[in-house]
Amino acid sequence: MTEKSADKAASEANERSQAFELLARIFRENASRYKSRYAVAIACLVVIAATTAFSAWIMRDVIDEIFVRQRSELIGIIAGSIVLAFAIRGVAMYGQAVIMAQIGNDLVARYQQRVFDKLMSLSVDYFVEHRSGQLAARLSQNVSAIRDVLSLTITAMARDLLSLIGLVAVMFIQDWRLTLITFLVGPPLFIAIAYITKRSRTIVRQSVTVNARVIGSLQEAVQGISVVKAFTMEDQLSKRISKIIREAQMRSDKLASVTQRLSPISEMLGGFAIAGVVAYGGWRTIEGGQPPGSMFSFITAVLLAYEPAKRLARLRVKLEKAMVNASMIYEIIDMEPRQRDIEGATTLQFETPDIEFVNVSFSYADGTEVLSGVNFTAPAKQVTAIVGPSGAGKTTIISLLERYYDPDEGQILIGGQPIGEVTKASLREAMALVSQSPYLFEGSIRDNIRYGRADATDDEIEEAAKLANAHEFIAATPSGYDTLIGENGVTLSGGQRQRLSIARAIVRNAPILLLDEATSALDNESEKLVQDALETVMRGRTTIVIAHRLSTIRNANKIIVMDRGEIVEEGDHQALTKKKNGLYAKLHALSSAGELPTVEHAEDADRNNV
């Protein structure tokens, strides 16, 4: 064996053992839960197998006793036993199918829950790296595969394998020599199966991935439909997606052509076996003068064995497909959240909720430093505004505070406690976030406010809505607080959505408020309502706001000016505007429509200033 072929053989053996391990794991994790139900299902399958074998076995008596010996008194018994066997078989099939379906549905539900909980436990960077549409598509395709793995194996083992054993036993009883001859088709069949399984493994994986891309792209296009329309992207998108759709089709075609290769092979081998038996059996009866009953029974057994044998042969190929899907689910289930609470993490406790950044440096996965040596304090119960050109690192400051990421260097302290040493749950409970694009979830308006704090009473929710200037418009909706919100809250205006998300933050009643102020986009009246609501929620809370509006910035107790990941100025509005050549003074001079400009870099401000 050459080195290359040895490697290849080793990797194939490895893949096989991985497939086996996966199968064992799926059984280990699920079989015990369904033990008793599986026992009933398997009993039904055994009955099915037994009745199948019985119908072949009885053929000898049908031929020999009824047709050859013409014993009319046996007709009733034989016909009756056939009816009985088929009736029992029918009941067993029903029982087996219903039980297996129930187990399957329960499995799918449990895995969906498992995967959802796992996804929720992963850190934000996972979702930055994976497209949500594709993730959802993969989940829907893959979860049912685990059900298929289990039901395919169990049905195959209990029904097809047992039927086959029963039928082979009948064949042996009727004519053992002939049985051995039919076994000759085995080896070529095994070789064909091994070849097809190997070929299909890669194609299945590709096909699943491409299909996920198709569904994912559809979902993304639907989600972003307003952008699609606004930029008349329909044709472009359609062309793009048609490429992916065609690719998916091609893969599916390829998969079909590979897996279906089994059909001609197994049909031909089946034909040989049956023809051989008929020829040899016929010759023996005609030349040897044997009664035809046993030969008939044998042929019936072979014919009946053909289907389960074919299904068993296909099982390996079908399982392969299910296993590839199942392994993708386990890839998610086995994922370790990158950023865990440290061992012995305490709950965050503080008397004064001041926030301190000490020498904080941070870079995202790509390695470029986004924050370098950031030092500042946000005094307790006061408003600290962060301003600066876009890309300066303002949002990153909020992400680090929420511990979506951990800093590479330095420390962040709340009330003197390093946030890296406390549980993330307690850290996040101390904070409420109002983001630029308020995200609303499936459910009623009430549910959406209650996401701020699960145990908030209806009165508290209403109170929060009033403080957030949202009560009035909520009361005007058809079912008030029980009105259902469409996907992304399409029935609400931007300002209304923002006020709902402010109500959510008020209900949370957390000592710290993180605010990412939206740039313009609101009409004046809406803007005023949102602004008032924000002022209410800021009162008495330590607030860090990524600010664009001059009114917010002017009223802030402290302004931090950032540029390229560094704090370049610090002070209040008065002090900063007086600073000649200061970045804030420049930005302020350029401000219009009540907002600071969102230039890319400090130099842009310079250029525009001359």
Nearest by Cα to 402 from 422, 376, 382: 422
Token output for 100: 């297996």
CB of 409 to ligand ADP, least distance (A): 16
CB of 353 to ligand ADP, least distance (A): 23
Number of helical (H) and strand (E) elements in the chain, helices listed first: 23, 12
Cβ distance 446 to 506 under 8 Å?
Answer: no
Strand segments, DSSP code E, in 193-267 are none
Residue of 396, 448, 469, 542 that binds ligand ADP (CB under 6 A)? 396
**DSSP-derived secondary structure letter, 67:** I
Residues 81-120, one symbol each (x = binds ligand ADP by CB under 6 A, - = not), give ----------------------------------------
Residue of 391, 420, 480, 571 that binds ligand ADP (CB under 6 A)? 391
CB of 528 to ligand ADP, least distance (A): 25
Cβ distance 405 to 339 under 8 Å?
Answer: yes
CB of 123 to ligand ADP, least distance (A): 12
The whole-angstrom separation of Cα 385 and Cα 376 is: 12
Q: Is 394 in the site for ligand ADP (CB under 6 A)?
A: yes
Nearest by Cα to 379 from 415, 410, 422: 415
**Rounded alpha-carbon distances, angstroms, from residue 289 to 61, 172, 175, 178, 298:** 17, 20, 15, 17, 16
The whole-angstrom separation of Cα 548 and Cα 597 is: 8
Residue of 270, 292, 393, 511 that binds ligand ADP (CB under 6 A)? 393
Residues 369-388, one symbol each (x = binds ligand ADP by CB under 6 A, - = not), give -x-----------------x
Stretch that binds ligand ADP, among 163-171, 234-242, 392-400, 484-492 (CB under 6 A): 392-400
| Binding footprint of ligand ADP, residue count (CB under 6 A) | 12
Stretch that binds ligand ADP, among 139-147, 176-184, 348-356, 364-372 (CB under 6 A): 364-372
User: What amino acid is encoded at 29 in this protein?
Assistant: E
Q: Is 390 in the site for ligand ADP (CB under 6 A)?
A: yes
Residues 454-473, one symbol each (x = binds ligand ADP by CB under 6 A, - = not), give --------------------
Q: Is 366 in the site for ligand ADP (CB under 6 A)?
A: yes
Residue of 176, 190, 364, 439 that binds ligand ADP (CB under 6 A)? 364
Residues 241-270, one symbol each (x = binds ligand ADP by CB under 6 A, - = not), give ------------------------------
Using CA atoms in the order 600, 605, 608, 610, what is the torsion angle rounded to 10 degrees? Answer: -160
Between 388 and 489, name the residue whose CB sits nearer to ligand ADP. Answer: 388
Residues 126-145, one symbol each (x = binds ligand ADP by CB under 6 A, - = not), give --x-----------------
Sign (positive/negative) of CA torsion 378, 350, 371, 435? negative
Tell me how far the alpha carbon of residue 508 is from its chain's centroid: 29
Cβ distance 559 to 378 under 8 Å?
Answer: no
Stretch that binds ligand ADP, among 71-79, 167-175, 330-338, 389-397 (CB under 6 A): 389-397
Using CA atoms in the order 229, 233, 234, 240, what is the torsion angle rounded to 10 degrees? Answer: -150
Among left, alpha and beta (phi > 0; psi -120 to 50; other), residue 480 is: left
Cβ distance 407 to 400 under 8 Å?
Answer: yes
Q: Is 513 in the site for ligand ADP (CB under 6 A)?
A: no
> Can you give the binding site for ligand ADP, defined by CB under 6 A?
128, 364, 366, 370, 388, 390-396
